[in-house]
C-alpha cells in the first residue's frame, strides 16, 4: 500500500521540546535522572527527546511542558515557513520572558530557523546577565 502523505508536517515539534528540556535541565544543574524523578518521564526517554531521536507520547509531552512551564501549544505547533497566513504568537503571563522572545523570533518570516535560534540564545544570555532576581530588586528598594 502506497502512502500518499509522506511530507505531512509532524504535529509535535520534538526538536523544540528537546532543546527546551536540555536548556532548562542545564540551567537548573540537573541530571537526566533528576528530571526523570521530577517529571515521571524515564531518563532514557528524556535522553532521546533531548537528542531529537525520541517521539514522546501525549502524557510525556504534558508532563514535560508542565515542568518547563510553557504552553503545550508551543510544542505542538512548530514553525512552518511555507505557511501563507501568519500565526499569532500565544504566550501566558507566567511564561518566562526569554521563552516569549524566542517564540516571536521563530515566528518571524524574515529569519531562518537557525538565525532565530541564534538570536534567541543571544537574548537569553543577555537577559540572564542583566535581569535581576526578585531578591536583588527588593533589597535595592530598601536602600
How far is CA 30 from each of CA 26, 27, 52, 97, rounded to the nearest angstrom? 6, 8, 19, 22
Q: Per-residue DSSP letters for 80-134?
A: -TT-SSPPPPP--TTS-HHHHHHHHHHH-TTS-HHHHHHHHHHHHHHHHHH---H
| 63-97 CB burial, b ≥16 within 10 A, e <16 | bbbebbebbeebbbbbbeeeeeeeeebebeeebbe
Residues 80-117 have pLDDT tens digits of 444 444 555 666 667 788 888 888 888 888 888 888 88
140 or 35: which leads in pLDDT? 35
Name all domains of the chain by residue range, CATH numbers in brackets. Answer: 12-78 (1.10.260.40), 89-132 (no CATH)
Residues 43-67 have pLDDT tens digits of 999 999 999 888 888 899 889 988 9
Q: Kindly report the pTM of this predicted structure.
A: 0.56
What nine digits make up the cell of 10?
509532524
Amino acid at each position: 500500500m502506497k502512502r500518499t502523505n509522506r511530507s505531512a508536517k509532524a504535529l509535535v515539534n520534538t526538536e523544540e521540546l528537546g532543546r527546551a528540556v536540555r536548556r532548562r535541565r542545564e540551567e537548573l544543574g540537573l541530571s537526566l535522572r533528576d528530571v526523570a524523578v521530577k517529571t515521571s518521564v524515564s531518563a532514557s526517554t528524556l535522553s532521546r527527546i533531548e537528542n531529537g531521536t525520541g517521539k514522546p507520547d501525549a502524557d510525556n509531552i504534558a508532563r514535560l511542558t508542565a515542568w518547563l512551564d510553557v504552553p503545550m501549544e508551543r510544542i505542538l505547533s512548530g514553525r512552518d515557513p511555507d505557511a501563507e497566513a501568519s500565526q499569532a504568537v500565544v504566550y501566558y503571563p507566567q511564561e518566562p520572558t526569554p521563552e516569549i522572545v524566542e517564540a516571536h523570533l521563530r515566528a518571524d518570516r524574515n529569519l531562518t530557523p537557525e538565525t532565530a535560534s541564534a538570536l534567541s540564545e543571544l537574548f537569553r544570555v543577555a537577559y540572564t546577565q542583566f535581569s535581576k532576581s526578585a531578591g536583588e530588586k527588593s533589597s535595592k528598594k530598601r536602600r
